[in-house]
Amino acid sequence: MPIDALDGRLIELFTAEPRIGVLEASRRLKVARGTVQARLDRLARDGVVAGMGPEIDPAALGYGVTAFVTLQLRQAGGHDPVAARLAQVPEVIEAHTITGPGDMLCRVVARSNTDLQRVIDVIVDVAGVERASSVISLATQVPYRTLPLVRAVAAQRNR
């Protein structure tokens, strides 16, 4: 779903200030309140905006260790049952089916390296998981972001 420059500015504004409100956004963007609301509704309906909730920093909750765990799965049974079980582990904050030497890649958080071992043990105990290998993130060099992508798409639309 293509977006235009106004959509891009709207997304950027709500990303920077998620609690701004539709009326204030319309004032800052110099468009009608109904335009802002209609655009937000369309962006949500089309799946461009997936949510307006707060971003949570696991480290602020005491989970200062981030690791990426590659899983090898038993071929019988498929990925979906494993993913459903992994979704029950609170420390698994993301899981993706992947290509390459593994079958699934998980981003996990833990309170410490010792706690990471506990989390990995829980993951390996999931039915269908044969093996896990992990790497610990030392620092986030480029955090998860989408605004540069939004800007690029909006700029392409206005050419």
State both tokens at 62: 């005491």
State both tokens at 98: 């992947």
pLDDT digits (tens, 9 = 90+) for 1-23: 689 999 999 999 998 888 899 99
In a domain, 40, yes or no: yes
Q: Note whether 88 and 130 are same-domain residues.
A: yes
**CA end-to-end distance (rounded Å), the chain:** 16
Give the DSSP letter of residue 128: T
In a domain, 70, yes or no: yes
Which structural domain range is residue 48 located in?
5-54
Q: Is the pLDDT of residue 155 over 90?
A: no
pLDDT, residue 62, reads 97
In a domain, 107, yes or no: yes
pLDDT, residue 121, reads 98
State both tokens at 69: 């765990």
Three-state DSSP class for 66?
strand
Burial class (CB in 10 A: 0-12, 13-18, 19+), 61: exposed
In a domain, 157, yes or no: no
In a domain, 147, yes or no: no
In a domain, 92, yes or no: yes
Q: Note whether 90 and 119 are same-domain residues.
A: yes
pLDDT digits (tens, 9 = 90+) for 96-130: 999 999 999 999 999 999 999 999 999 999 999 99
Q: Note whether 62 and 133 are same-domain residues.
A: yes
pLDDT, residue 158, reads 64
Give the DSSP letter of residue 48: S
pLDDT, residue 126, reads 96
| 78 or 94, greater pLDDT | 94
Identity of the amino acid at 105: L
Q: Note whether 62 and 112 are same-domain residues.
A: yes
Say if residues 15 and 8 touch (Cβ distance below 8 Å).
no
In a domain, 152, yes or no: no
Q: Note whether 63 and 132 are same-domain residues.
A: yes
Q: Note whether 106 and 49 are same-domain residues.
A: no
pLDDT digits (tens, 9 = 90+) for 38-77: 999 999 999 999 888 788 899 999 999 999 999 999 988 8
| 134 or 52, greater pLDDT | 134
Structural domain count of the chain: 2
Give the C-alpha separation, 95 to 89, whole Å: 11
CATH code for the domain in which residue 23 is found: 1.10.10.10
Q: Note whether 130 and 63 are same-domain residues.
A: yes
Q: Is the pLDDT of residue 151 over 80?
A: yes
